[in-house]
Amino acid sequence: MFNETVLKEINDIRVKYPDRRSALLPSLYIAQREFGWLSHEAMLCVSKTLNLPEAEVRGTASFYAMFKNKPVGRHVIQLCTNVSCMILGAEKLVDFIGNKYGVQPGGISQDGRFSLVIMECIGACGTAPAMLVDTDFYDSLTEKRIEEILEGYK
């Protein structure tokens, strides 16, 4: 179950809305922050805290790509391979990350350091290829630059 601080945080969100359902998405973000991903346990906690049916919580969580439905590494790399990024070599970058850090798209590296998620467009076509590491944004990527950036995420 959530600790007192988190419960209070969720309750503060809840009182902003006329019904409990509306507080579901922000509460799920909090649960994901706390648990790393939305495990059954995390969703049960949300369901209990908001007194919403468990199935509804999971139904909502499973709809959105940014809610993670399996465990993730300590840092999540979200790399775009959509048109502009692809033309500028994003697919090679996927291979590079795969070889260098041992993490395949949708997977998690052996040491649990990184997960790699292939994203659809993240709106940085002008400076493609682009990626997010956790919530930080990076563009104009090259293999060298990726190496430098990921050094900062242990």
- Interface ranges with another protein (CB under 8 A): 40, 43, 51, 53-60, 62-65
- 56/143 with CB nearer another protein: 56
Least separation, in Å, of the C-beta of 150 and another protein? Answer: 30
> Is the CB of residue 28 less than 8 Å from the CB of residue 38?
yes
DSSP 69-112: SS---SEEEEEE-SHHHHHTTHHHHHHHHHHHH---BT-B-TTS
Least separation, in Å, of the C-beta of 149 and another protein? Answer: 30
Least separation, in Å, of the C-beta of 51 and another protein? Answer: 6
- 21/92 with CB nearer another protein: 21
28 token code pair? 């799920």
Using left for φ > 0, alpha for ψ between -120 and 50, and beta otherwise, residue 102 falls in: left
- 30/52 with CB nearer another protein: 52
- 95/120 with CB nearer another protein: 120
Least separation, in Å, of the C-beta of 56 and another protein? Answer: 5
> Is the CB of residue 77 less than 8 Å from the CB of residue 133?
yes
Cα–Cα distance measured from residue 75 to residue 90, given in angstroms and rounded to the nearest whole number: 19
